[in-house]
Amino acid sequence: MRRLRSVCLYGTTLLCVFFLSHLFVRFGGREKNDVSKKYVPTQSRESRESGLPNIVFIMADDLGWGDVGYHDSIIKTPNIDRLASEGVKLENYYGSTWCAPSRLNLMTGRYRIHTGLYGDVCDFMALSETTVAEKLREAGYYTALVGKWHLGGFYNTECNPPQRGFDTFFGYLGGCHGYYTHRRGGPRAKYDLFANDTAVGPDYEGQYSTFIFTKEAQRIVEQHSKRPTEQPLFLYLSYQAVHTPLEVPEEYENIYKNVIEDDDRRIYAAMTTCMDEAIGNVTETLKSTGLWENTVLIFSSDNGATPSGGGSNWPLRGHKGVWYEGGIRLVSFVTSPLLTDQVKGTVNNELIHMTDWFKTMLYLAKGNLKGTKPLDGYNQWETISMGKTTDRKEILHNLIPGDQADTEGSIDGFFDRMPFATLRVGKWKLLTGNIVNEGSWTKPAEMGFHIYGPGNHGSIELYNIEEDPEERNNLAQTNTVKLRELYRTLQRYSATINKDVLQVEPVVE
3-state secondary structure 476-488: CCCCHHHHHHHHH
Distance CA 311, CA 268 (A): 7
Nearest to 193 by CA among 159, 145, 147, 155: 147
Are 16 and 504 within 8 A, CB to CB?
yes
Active-site residue (options: 114, 150, 182, 397): 150
Output the DSSP codes for 356-377. HHHHHHHHHTT---TTPPPP--
Least Cβ distance, residue 77 to ligand NAG (angstroms): 13
Asked if 102 is part of the footprint of ligand NAG (rule: CB under 6 A), the reply reads: no
Q: Which of 455, 460, 456, 457 is nearest to 483 (CA)?
A: 460
Shortest CB 81 distance to ligand NAG, Å: 16
Window 40-79: contact mask with ligand NAG (x via CB under 6 A): ----------------------------------------
- Outline where DSSP puts E strands in 392-459: 394-404, 418-425, 428-432, 441-442, 451-452
Stretch that binds ligand NAG, among 55-63, 70-78, 275-283, 485-493 (CB under 6 A): 275-283
Of the candidate spans 277-285, 378-386, 428-436, 464-472, the one that interacts with ligand NAG by CB under 6 A turns out to be 277-285
Going from the C-alpha of 79 to that of each of 44, 216, 272, 280, the distances in angstroms are 23, 19, 11, 5
Q: Which stretch binds ligand NAG (CB under 6 A): 19-27, 66-74, 103-111, 273-281?
A: 273-281
**Residue (103 or 224) nearer to ligand NAG, CB:** 224
Which listed range, 30-38, 274-282, 308-316, 464-472, lies at the site for ligand NAG (CB under 6 A)?
274-282
Closest CA to 227 of 277, 281, 169, 168: 168
CA pair distance 465, 6, nearest whole angstrom:
26
Q: Which of 278, 305, 361, 364 binds ligand NAG (CB under 6 A)?
A: 278
Complex with ligand NAG: residue 224 or 397, whichever CB lies closer: 224
Which lies closer to ligand NAG via its Cβ, residue 146 or residue 490?
146
SS3 content of the chain, % helix, strand, coil (to 5): 30, 20, 50
* 143 near ligand NAG, judged by CB under 6 A: no
Phi, psi values for residue 77, rounded to 5°? -135, 65
150 is a catalytic site residue:
yes
The distance of closest approach from Cβ of residue 195 to ligand NAG in the complex, given in angstroms and rounded to an integer, is 4
Q: Sheet holding 54-60: strands in order across?
A: 198-199, 194-195, 168-172, 142-148, 233-238, 54-60, 295-301, 332-335, 88-90, 346-348
Query: Who contacts 437 (Cβ-Cβ below 8 Å, separation ≥6)?
Result: 454, 457
Which is it for the CA torsion 359, 361, 364, 365, positive or negative? negative
CB-count burial class (<10 Å; 0-12, 13-18, 19+) for 198 = exposed
Nearer to ligand NAG, 108 or 214 (CB): 214
For the bound state, the minimum distance from the C-beta of residue 277 to ligand NAG, rounded and expressed in Å, comes to 4
Residue 421: strand, helix, or coil: strand
In the complex, minimum distance from the CB of residue 174 to ligand NAG, in angstroms, rounded to a whole number: 17
Of 269, 274, 421, 445, the one binding ligand NAG by CB under 6 A: 274
**Residue with Cβ nearer ligand NAG (18 or 170):** 170
Of 99, 159, 176, 274, which is the active-site residue? 99
What element of type H or E holds 85?
helix 78-86
The amino acid that residue 106 corresponds to is L
Shortest distance in whole angstroms from residue 167 CB to ligand NAG? 6
Q: Would you say 74 or 278 has its CB closer to ligand NAG?
A: 278
Quick one: which of 129, 112, 122 has its CA closest to 23? 129
Closest approach of ligand NAG to the CB of residue 310, in Å: 18
The CA-based angle 251-257-260, given to 5 degrees, is: 125
Nearer to ligand NAG, 127 or 195 (CB): 195
In this chain, which of 281, 410, 459, 473 binds ligand NAG, going by CB under 6 A? 281
**Between residue 161 and residue 180, which ones bind ligand NAG under the rule CB under 6 A?**
168, 170
| Residue span 194-233 as binding mask against ligand NAG, x where in contact by CB under 6 A, dash where not | -xx-------------xx--x-------------------
* Nearest distance, CB of residue 196 and ligand NAG, angstroms: 4
CB of 505 to ligand NAG, least distance (A): 33
277 in contact with ligand NAG (CB under 6 A): yes
User: Which residues lie near ligand NAG (CB under 6 A)?
Assistant: 168, 170, 195-196, 210-211, 214, 274, 277-278, 281
Active site residues: 99, 150
